[in-house]
């Protein structure tokens, strides 16, 4: 069995030897031209003149294109794959993110106004700088919390409001009643900071038009190439059969590389116009500005407790950021992933939430690793933490009293979602043992007596991974079917190529999908190769996002492999003159049970293609495809505990320890799993302590244009991690596996925040917004000190 | 713009080329020599994806002009290890799952070798401090730290 083993990754050597094949590395027979863009320097402005005259004649320039040219060409706009609906089911006030400014108004810094295509990158940049654009600045607002204030400038005045939609979920009356009768009510204002994925590989696109054959090719840093092909039917009007989308090696995605960014159709447009392949490689500044941003929810939460600290109900009111326009998937956050997970790992009888999506003059928001759940977990867990302190109950003890007991699974949450399996108390007990909780509390008390500030943070939550059943996701708003696809092709020599609709950009599918296939096919893992990321080679796919690939594409591999085995057994049974049921397949051989009569897998494969002696109703060939629609999402769960030290002199936070206990069901490769958890944790820790897509509140200017200004964690900012796991089987797929890609990211912001609050509670500190920088911590301590005087 | 000529050694071979004087070393390596294992992740020398060895020390190739390197000896990730065998630091990254998407990886390996050249048995704190100029967004650093420690042990053994 390969599943369950820490098989070393089969894709590693090419990366380690510098032979990775990213979009920027690709060469073609013809010289590749370069694109450069003119972008709005203003948060909100009328564009009164775009003068390209000087640029057109500059050295090496092949094309100069503006919004007027786009309109004249009759091209279209982006299509939301998860379009916004309001509560009534009607379309909300949707304004799709434009590819290039066509209506004379720019609504956020970075919006594209013009494009230059030139022979090389320097010439393209020089010509872009020679384009003269006149702007008339308009009042702007980049702050989500202010979006609906009466005097706030409107991003889209035609709608008469900055509100995109209102959506309500849960049990309103029961939640109000719980708050009314509660022994104790905790209220916290819990905004989540605007962050961005900041993959180390910048976004990069290359377009090519084969005019002779009327075929188009796009190379893209994207996680879902078949969805890119769909996007192009709307943007450039290219039919799906005419376009090949290749997503080769991609240097990190994290959800951010799911979208039809403006530069993607523009680069292909540039190729069509210039009759040359055209590439654009994002600078870090362009990416920090133009990659979708994430989170940025402004939330007020109230939680009702009884005398013993049992949670009676929880109520949230949220302003959810859209930015200046709707990005293609953003409504999946406000309308699906935020509210569905509000019960976390707790048995909460009444939950109610209201979300108002709002426009601001900021970069569009969309899904980034966790998408809605980091917000939700942070918000609920901040209320629990404060509630425990206010009621004088140990925070772990209060959580333990509220965890969903194992015998309640499948568990129907008050918000409507059913968790299929889990055992939160077991996770909590393992976490308690792993961190030696009582010793930590004793250490905290001893240090506090010395004037040193140590805090213990924790969270306990469920994730909704593996989207998902097509019908369920359609009901939650998705316009695309959330299945996935795999083909298993057995070659006549018995070796195997697996084609999968998922995309690996760090997840290690060449290893894990091969583990699954090798077990099902009873073959050596080295006899299998994987193909992903090419719409001309892989039949169909929905792509890798939302911790979904294992329970969709991975299961399609599983299912297609089983179909191959079933067909091969019929051929083998014919050759061995026995019944198919009498055959065992192991170690590359079909054996008649109880005998030594056998055939190699390769012999059967060869006969499947080349033998005329076959069952009359058995078609030639040995290749099967599965479109796998899972029976359910998967619901991984986890408990995290951390220890923070806050320096009383500098207010700097040291994250000393971090433990995570995960239940991800069946583990395919524990080494890969741990890698996913480690990386996710550090992204969540970054959100908690240092990351922020900051705007100047007066001018709307973007302030985080380089890695000097946008702080992602360095090696020295984080500790090594202590991981443990607990197993309950997922019920929605045959392997019993649950998604594992997001657990770290979604749990860490709340866990670290609770640790810092726990360290400072005795000083009167009750809440600090993220990122919890030394300056904010210092101010919170000062404010608390003044309040206590 | 007037072109300039430069002669240097890259991965053990002497290379002479004419370049636009504003060409960065990283673009020279990637675009003129097709050594695409060296990556650009940030443009401002924070991320370290472009790390190469210059006369045996790790440097950021996005912060040097090609014309500065007359007579220099540059090693890129493609020059590490043999045709059939990986360098012990590369092997350590594989065995300790020190990479995911692979984009920061060449820079991490080049930096890891540099750390091991200067510290025979670097401890965790040393490795984390030494990695101040190399960013990874996938691994959370845990396994990169383990990889460099293991690679350094192998190199000194």
Per residue in A673-700, pLDDT (tens digit) is 999 999 999 999 999 999 999 999 999 9
State how far the Cα of A344 lies from the Cα of A424, in Å rounded to an integer: 10
Confidence of residue A90 (pLDDT cuts 50, 70, 90): low
Helix (H, G, I), strand (E, B) or coil at A718: coil
Residue ending a domain, among A290, A305, A329, is A290
Outline where DSSP puts E strands in A178-310. 184-189, 194-196, 204-210, 215-220, 243-246, 278-281, 293-295, 297-305
A574 to each of A564, A589, A590, A608, A666, how far by Cα in Å?
Answer: 16, 15, 12, 11, 36
Cα–Cα–Cα angle for A529, A535, A541, rounded to 5 degrees: 80
Q: Are residues B118 and B66 in the same domain?
A: no
Which residues between 52 and 91 in chain B have a beta carbon less than 8 angstroms from any beta carbon of chain A? Answer: 76-78, 80-81, 86, 90
Best of A13, A18, A676 to substitute, by most chain B Cβ atoms within 10 angstroms, is A18
Dist CA B41 CA B34 (whole Å): 17
DSSP for A585-598 reads EETTEEEETTSS-E
B37, B77, B139 member nearest A675 (Cβ)? B139
Closest CA–CA distance from residue B96 to any residue of chain A (Å): 8
Helix and strand numbers (H, E) in chain B are 5, 5
Same-domain pairing of B8 and B70 = yes
Q: Are residues B29 and B51 in the same domain?
A: yes
B57 and B95 in a single domain? The answer is no
Q: What pLDDT digit, counting tens, does each position of A167-214 carry?
A: 899 999 999 999 999 999 999 999 999 999 999 999 999 999 999 999
Q: Considering only alpha carbons, which residue of chain B is nearest residue A503?
A: B101
Structure tokens of A60? Answer: 């090496």
Give the whole-number percent of chain A exceeding pLDDT 90: 94
Which of A122, A507, A707 is nearest residue B44 as measured by Cβ atoms? Answer: A707
Query: Same domain for B114 and B65?
Result: no
pLDDT reading at A91 higher than 80? no
Asked if residue A404 lies in contact with residue A345, where contact means CB atoms within 8 angstroms, the answer is yes
Q: What is the domain-level CATH number for residue B135? A: 1.10.150.120
Residues of A in contact with B95 (CB under 8 A): 8
Residue A520: give the domain boundaries.
484-628
The residue from B26, B45, B79 where one domain ends is B79
pLDDT tens digit sequence for B109-135: 999 999 999 998 999 999 999 999 999
Q: Burial letters for A136-173: b for 16+ Cβ neighbours within 10 Å, e otherwise?
A: eebebbbbbbbbeeeebbbbbeeeebbbbbebebbbee
Q: Are residues A605 and A650 in the same domain?
A: no
Based on the domain organization, do B74 and B92 belong to the same domain? no
Say what the pLDDT of residue A477 is: 83
Identify the CATH number of the domain in which residue A37 sits: 3.90.1170.50
Q: Tell me: do A498 and A601 sit in the same domain.
A: yes
Last residue of a domain, one of A257, A290, A323: A290
Residue A198 vs residues A368, A485, A686, A692: alpha-carbon distances, Å:
10, 29, 11, 11
Assign residue A624 the CATH number of its domain: 3.30.365.10
Total tally of structural domains belonging to chain A: 3
Q: Is A638 a member of any domain?
A: yes
Q: What is the pLDDT of residues A431-461, one digit of tens each?
A: 999 999 999 999 999 999 999 999 999 999 9
**Residues in chain B within 8 Å Cβ distance of A15:** 99, 102, 105-106
Judge contact between B49 and B107, C-beta under 8 A: yes
Shortest distance, CA B51 to any CA of chain A (angstroms): 12
Query: Structural domain tally of chain B?
Result: 2
Classify residue A381: in a domain, yes or no: yes
Nearest to B94 among A12, A680, A681 (CB): A12
Q: What is the pLDDT of residues A532-545, one digit of tens each?
A: 999 999 999 999 99
Q: What percent of chain A has pLDDT over 70?
A: 99
Of the candidate ranges A77-81, A513-517, B90-94, the one whose mean pLDDT is the lowest: A77-81
A251·B128 Cβ contact <8 A: no
Examine residue A532 and state whether it is found in any structural domain, yes or no: yes
Q: B79, B111, B139: which is the final residue of a domain?
A: B79
Residue A89, pLDDT score: 66
Are A384 and A524 within one domain? no
In this structure, the number of other CB atoms found within 10 A of the CB of residue B37 comes to: 26
Domain final position from B39, B61, B79: B79
Q: What are A3-21's pLDDT values in tens digits?
A: 999 999 999 999 999 999 9
B47 contacts on A by Cβ (under 8 Å): 200, 284, 707
A538 and A647, same structural domain? no
* Same domain? A644 vs A739: yes
Judgement on whether residues A643 and A507 belong to the same structural domain of the protein? no
B33 and A CB contact within 8 Å: no
Q: Is the pLDDT of residue A611 over 70?
A: yes
Residue of A94 and A192 predicted with greater confidence: A192
3-class state of residue A119 by DSSP: coil
A530 with A650, same domain?
A: no
| Average pLDDT of chain A, as a whole number | 96
State which residue of chain A sits closest to B131, comparing Cα positions: A715
Query: Which residues of chain B have a CB within 8 Å of the CB of A251?
Result: 39, 41, 101-104
Q: What is the CATH number of the domain that holds B72?
A: 3.10.20.30
B73 with B93, same domain?
no
A496 and A575 together in one domain = yes
pTM score over 0.95: yes
Regarding whether A784 and A690 lie in a shared domain, the answer is yes
Q: How far is A407 from chain B (nearest CA, A)?
A: 35
Half-sphere exposure of B63 (CA within 13 A, CB side): 17
- Within 8 A of A253 by CB-CB distance, chain B residues are 101
Last residue of a domain, one of A290, A318, A338: A290
Whole-angstrom Cα distance, residue A1 to residue A372?
37
**Rounded (5°) CA angle B40-B44-B45:** 70
Q: Report chain A residues whose CB lies below 8 A from the CB of B33.
A: none
Q: In this structure, is residue A166 part of a structural domain? A: no
The average pLDDT across B11-25 equals: 96
Instruction: Please report the residues numbered 2 through 31 in chain B whose beta carbons come closer than 8 angstroms to any beta carbon of chain A.
Output: 20, 22, 30
Residue position matching structure tokens 């092997």: B91
Does residue A4 lie in a domain region? no
- Residue A693, token pair as written in the block: 């897509």
Name the residue facing A17 among B77, B97, B131 (closest C-beta): B77
- Give the span between the Cα atoms of A454 and A652, in whole angstroms: 12
- For B56-88, the pLDDT digits (tens) are 999 999 999 999 999 999 999 999 998 899 999
- A317 in any annotated domain: no
Is there a single domain that holds both residue B143 and residue B111?
yes
Chain centroid to CA A723: how far?
22
Residue A202 and residue B102: Cβ atoms within 8 Å? no
Contact B22 A122 (CB under 8 A): yes
CA angle A205, A209, A211 (to 5 degrees): 175
**Any A CB within 8 A of B41 CB:** yes
Indicate if A116 and A224 belong to the same structural domain. Answer: yes
User: B93–A18: do the CB atoms touch at under 8 Å?
Assistant: no
Residue A606 has pLDDT above 80, yes or no: yes
Same domain, yes or no: B17 and B71? yes
Q: Are both B40 and B100 inside the same structural domain?
A: no
Q: Which long-range contacts (CB under 8 A, 24 or more apart) does A446-452 make?
A: A448/A762, A451/A648, A452/A645, A452/A648
- pLDDT (mean) for B24-53: 97
Residue-wise pLDDT tens digits, A32-60 = 999 999 999 999 999 999 999 999 999 99
Its domain, for residue B51, covers 4-79
Yes or no, beta carbons of B40 and A281 under 8 Å apart: yes
Closest to A47 measured CA to CA, from A57, A55, A39: A39
In tens, the pLDDT along A290-337 reads: 999 999 999 999 999 999 999 999 999 999 999 999 999 987 888 788
Question: Do A202 and B40 count as a contact with CB atoms less than 8 A apart?
Answer: yes
Judge whether A191 lies within some domain: no
Give domain status of residue A134, yes or no.
yes
Q: Best residue in B102, B126, B133 to probe A by mutation, most A CBs within 10 Å?
A: B102
Does one domain contain both B37 and B93?
A: no
A622 and A642: one domain? no
pLDDT of residue A787: 84
Does residue A87 register a pLDDT over 80? no
For residues B12 and B58, membership in a common domain is answered with yes
The string over A580-602, giving b where at least 16 C-beta atoms fall within 10 Å of a residue's C-beta and e elsewhere, is: bebbebeeebbbbeeeeeebebb
- pLDDT of B157 above 90: no
C-beta neighbour count of A789 within 10 angstroms = 5
Check whether residue A743 and residue A773 sit in a common domain: yes
The whole-number pLDDT of residue A639 equals 98
Cβ-Cβ contacts under 8 Å for A789 (sequence gap 6 or more): none
């Amino acid at each position: 069995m390969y599943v369950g083993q820490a098989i070393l990754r089969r894709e590693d050597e090419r990366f380690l030897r510098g032979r990775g094949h990213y979009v920027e590395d690709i060469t073609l027979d013809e010289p590749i031209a370069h694109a450069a863009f003119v972008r709005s320097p203003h948060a909100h402005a009328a564009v009164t003149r775009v003068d390209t005259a000087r640029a057109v004649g500059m050295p090496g320039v092949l094309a100069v294109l503006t919004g007027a040219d786009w309109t004249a060409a009759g091209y279209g706009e982006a299509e939301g794959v998860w379009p916004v609906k309001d509560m009534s089911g009607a379309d909300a006030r949707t304004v799709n993110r434009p590819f290039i400014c066509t209506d004379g108004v720019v609504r956020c810094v970075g919006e594209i106004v013009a494009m230059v295509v030139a022979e090389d990158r320097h010439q393209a940049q020089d010509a872009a700088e020679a384009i003269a654009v006149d702007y008339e600045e308009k009042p702007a607002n980049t702050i989500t919390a202010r979006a609906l204030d009466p005097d706030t400038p409107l991003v889209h005045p035609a709608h008469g409001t900055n509100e995109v939609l209102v959506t309500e979920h849960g049990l309103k009356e029961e939640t109000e009643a719980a708050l009314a009768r509660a022994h104790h009510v905790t209220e916290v204002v819990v905004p989540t900071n605007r962050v961005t994925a900041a993959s180390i590989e910048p976004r990069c696109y290359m377009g090519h038009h084969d005019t002779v054959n009327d075929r188009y090719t796009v190379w893209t840093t994207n996680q879902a190439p078949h969805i890119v092909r769909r996007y192009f039917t709307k943007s450039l009007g290219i039919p799906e059969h005419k376009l090949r989308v290749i997503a080769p090696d991609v240097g990190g995605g994290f959800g951010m590389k799911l979208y039809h960014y403006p530069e993607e159709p523009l680069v292909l447009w540039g190729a069509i116009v210039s009759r040359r392949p055209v590439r654009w490689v994002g600078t870090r500044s362009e990416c920090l500005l133009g990659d979708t941003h994430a989170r940025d929810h402004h939330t007020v939460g109230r939680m009702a407790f009884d005398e013993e600290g049992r949670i009676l109900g929880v109520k949230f009111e949220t302003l959810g950021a859209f930015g200046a326009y709707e990005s293609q998937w953003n409504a999946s956050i406000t309308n699906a992933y935020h509210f569905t997970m509000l019960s976390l790992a707790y048995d909460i009888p009444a939950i109610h939430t209201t979300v108002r999506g709002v426009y601001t003059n900021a970069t569009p928001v969309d899904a980034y690793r966790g998408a809605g759940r980091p917000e939700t977990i942070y918000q609920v867990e901040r209320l629990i933490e404060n509630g425990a302190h206010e009621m004088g109950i140990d925070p772990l003890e209060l959580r333990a009293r509220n965890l969903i007991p194992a015998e309640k699974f499948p568990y129907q949450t008050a918000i409507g979602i059913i968790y299929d399996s889990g055992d939160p108390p077991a996770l909590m007990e393992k976490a308690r043992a792993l961190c030696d909780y009582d010793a930590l509390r004793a250490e905290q008390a001893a240090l506090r007596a010395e004037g040193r500030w140590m805090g213990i943070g924790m969270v306990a939550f469920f994730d909704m991974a593996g989207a998902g059943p097509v019908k369920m996701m359609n009901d939650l708003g998705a316009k695309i079917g959330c299945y996935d696809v795999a083909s298993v092709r057995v070659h006549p020599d018995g070796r195997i190529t697996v084609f999968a609709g998922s995309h690996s950009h760090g997840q290690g599918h060449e290893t894990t999908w091969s583990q699954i296939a090798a077990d099902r096919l009873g073959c050596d893992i080295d006899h299998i190769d994987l193909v992903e990321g090419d719409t001309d080679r892989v039949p169909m796919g929905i792509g890798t996002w939302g911790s979904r690939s294992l329970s969709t594409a991975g299961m399609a591999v599983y299912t297609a492999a089983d179909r191959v085995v079933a067909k091969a057994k019929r051929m083998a049974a014919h050759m061995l003159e026995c019944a198919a049921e009498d055959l065992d397949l192991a170690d590359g051989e079909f054996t008649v049970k109880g005998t030594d009569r056998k055939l190699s897998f390769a012999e059967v494969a060869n006969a499947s293609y080349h033998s005329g002696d076959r069952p009359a109703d058995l078609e030639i060939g040995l290749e099967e495809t599965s479109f796998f629609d899972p029976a359910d999402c998967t619901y991984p769960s986890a408990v995290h505990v951390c220890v923070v030290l806050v320096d009383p002199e500098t207010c700097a936070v040291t994250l000393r320890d971090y433990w995570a206990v995960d239940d991800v069901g069946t583990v395919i490769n524990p080494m890969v799993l741990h890698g996913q958890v480690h990386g996710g944790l550090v992204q969540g820790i970054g959100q908690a302590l240092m990351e922020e897509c900051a705007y100047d509140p007066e001018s709307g200017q973007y302030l985080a244009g380089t890695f000097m200004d946008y702080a992602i964690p360095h090696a020295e900012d984080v500790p090594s991690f202590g991981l443990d796991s607990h197993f309950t089987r997922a019920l929605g797929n045959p392997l019993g596996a649950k998604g594992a890609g997001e657990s770290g990211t979604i749990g860490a912001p709340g866990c670290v925040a609770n640790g810092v609050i726990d360290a400072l509670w005795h000083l009167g500190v009750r809440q600090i917004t993220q990122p919890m920088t030394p300056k904010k911590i210092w101010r919170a301590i000062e404010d608390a000190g003044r309040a206590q005087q | 713009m007037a072109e300039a000529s430069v002669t240097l050694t890259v991965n053990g071979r002497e290379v002479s080329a004419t370049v636009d004087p504003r060409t960065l070393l990283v673009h020279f390596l990637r675009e003129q020599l097709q050594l695409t294992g060296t990556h650009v992740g940030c443009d401002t020398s924070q991320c370290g994806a472009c790390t190469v060895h210059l006369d045996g020390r790790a440097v950021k190739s996005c912060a040097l002009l090609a014309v500065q390197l007359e007579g220099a000896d540059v090693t890129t990730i493609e020059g590490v290890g043999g045709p059939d065998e990986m360098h012990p630091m590369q092997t350590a990254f594989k065995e300790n799952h020190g990479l995911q998407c692979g984009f920061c990886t060449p820079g991490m390996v080049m930096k890891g070798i540099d750390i091991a050249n200067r510290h025979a048995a670097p401890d965790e704190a040393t490795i984390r401090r030494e990695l101040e100029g190399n960013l990874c967004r996938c691994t959370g650093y845990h396994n990169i730290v383990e990889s460099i420690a293991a690679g350094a042990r192998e190199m000194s053994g």
